[in-house]
Amino acid sequence: MKSRISLPKSITSRLKLAVSIIVIAAICLSFYYYLGLRGELGNLPPILVSGILVGGLYGLVAVGVSIILGVMRVINLCHGELLVLGGFFTFWAVNFGLDPFLAMPIAFIILFVLGLALQSFIINPLLKYGLNPPVLVTFGVALAFQNIMLLLWTPDVRIIHTAISDINLQISGISIPMTRVVALLIALVLAYLTRLFLVKTFFGKALRAISQNSEVALLMGIDTSRVNIFCYGLGAGLAAVAGSLIGIVFSFSPVIGGPYMHKAFAVVVLGGMGNVIGAVVGGIILGVSETFASWLLGGGYTNAVAYLIFILVLIIKPTGIFAK
């Protein structure tokens, strides 16, 4: 049904944009004054910084979810468990005496191969039955992996220790753990490389082509099932690095995968499906909002804020904030 007064589409969309910018600006301004009244403006920079640092990690988890979702339309519900598994491999390699930053590429390769296997033997054969069976099977894989990890390696919380774990950077009065800075850098570099791969290489272009029209991609002579397999491997490998970084910056256990996957999904919705830059920016937005929420409302509210943002984006702009 059309409304009686119908504005041209370009005007209404601009109006929407203007209104949302004004609303966001108003929220930020009132927030700023509120802090000024309480005399806590000094807390703003460290919270912003720590939010950005955490957000980079969310972004990296989301990049993997995003390319898998973009190419196969499959929500990879076992992404969190792959992430934890990657954390375990790095953890063991470090215990074995390897430097964590050398262990990460190994974890990447192992998970990459595991991803290839999962896609070839479990997900690919189901893709022809529509989208529900492959999504459900990733849920099954998530349950199986989580419980196998709990059984084999106990629910203990583990931390990956590095040579730089105890170093703090002091920048104009703000103390920043060195590990978080390195983790952000690694996340950004990997996201950038992924984007470069998608834009510059033939294989990456094929990946994007499949995400836009998989049947025609077949007609171009693209072996879509092979590209799917590689894509899933790449997503799993990126998850392994993200899991390792989470183990270095925070800690991990077999059960943390789910929440990270949920947040990554919120970030993907925020940044747009298959959009690498969107995933990173979305991750940082989520990270900053969470840190602010936990500072203002208490730590228990961080997840609530993540899902609130998720729901709001779905209601207001379901194609993601960067979609044209």
Torsional sign, CA 309, 310, 316, 319: positive
Contact 244, 86 (CB under 8 A): yes
Query: Of how many residues is the chain composed?
Result: 324
Distance of CA 12 to the CA centre of its chain: 32
Least Cβ distance, residue 233 to another protein (angstroms):
19
13 binds another protein (CB under 8 A): no
Q: Is the Cβ of residue 221 or residue 300 nearer to another protein in the bound state? A: 221
Q: Is the Cβ of residue 107 or residue 198 nearer to another protein in the bound state? A: 198
Q: How far apart are the C-alpha atoms of 82 and 22, rounded to whole Å?
A: 41
Near another protein by CB under 8 A: residue from 206, 248, 285, 313: 206
217 binds another protein (CB under 8 A): yes
Near another protein by CB under 8 A: residue from 205, 250, 277, 289: 205
User: CB count, 10 Å around CB of 322?
Assistant: 15
Which contiguous run of DSSP H or E holds residue 169? Answer: strand 168-171
220 binds another protein (CB under 8 A): yes
Q: Determine the 3-state secondary structure of 174 from DSSP.
A: strand
Least Cβ distance, residue 18 to another protein (angstroms):
24
209 binds another protein (CB under 8 A): yes
Side-chain-side CA neighbours of 60 within 13 Å: the count stands at 26
Q: Using the rule CB under 8 A, give the single segment among 132-140, 201-209, 233-241, 282-290 that binds another protein.
A: 201-209
Q: Using the rule CB under 8 A, give the single segment among 93-101, 149-157, 182-190, 217-225 that binds another protein.
A: 217-225
Least Cβ distance, residue 213 to another protein (angstroms):
6
Least Cβ distance, residue 216 to another protein (angstroms):
5
Query: 206-235: string of b/e by CB count within 10 Å (b at 16+)?
Result: bbebbbeebeebeeeebebeebbbbbbbbb
Contact 103, 94 (CB under 8 A): yes
Pattern 232-271, binding to another protein, x per CB under 8 A? ----------------------------------------
Q: Determine the 3-state secondary structure of 170 from DSSP.
A: strand
Which contiguous run of DSSP H or E holds residue 43? Answer: none
Kindly state the DSSP code that residue 158 receives in the 8-state scheme: B
Q: Is the Cβ of residue 78 or residue 229 nearer to another protein in the bound state? A: 229
19 binds another protein (CB under 8 A): no
Q: How far apart are the C-alpha atoms of 225 and 223, rounded to whole Å?
A: 6
Q: Determine the 3-state secondary structure of 252 from DSSP.
A: strand
216 binds another protein (CB under 8 A): yes
196 binds another protein (CB under 8 A): no
Alpha-helical (H) ranges within the chain are 9-38, 44-72, 79-95, 100-118, 124-127, 132-153, 178-200, 202-212, 214-219, 224-249, 257-271, 276-297, 302-316
Near another protein by CB under 8 A: residue from 202, 298, 315, 318: 202
Near another protein by CB under 8 A: residue from 24, 189, 223, 312: 223
Near another protein by CB under 8 A: residue from 8, 97, 173, 221: 221
215 binds another protein (CB under 8 A): yes
Q: Which residues pair with 168 in a beta bridge?
A: 177
213 binds another protein (CB under 8 A): yes
127 binds another protein (CB under 8 A): no
Q: Is the Cβ of residue 25 or residue 220 nearer to another protein in the bound state? A: 220
Contact 225, 124 (CB under 8 A): yes
Q: Is the Cβ of residue 208 or residue 317 nearer to another protein in the bound state? A: 208
Residues binding another protein (CB under 8 A):
202, 205-206, 208-209, 212-213, 215-224
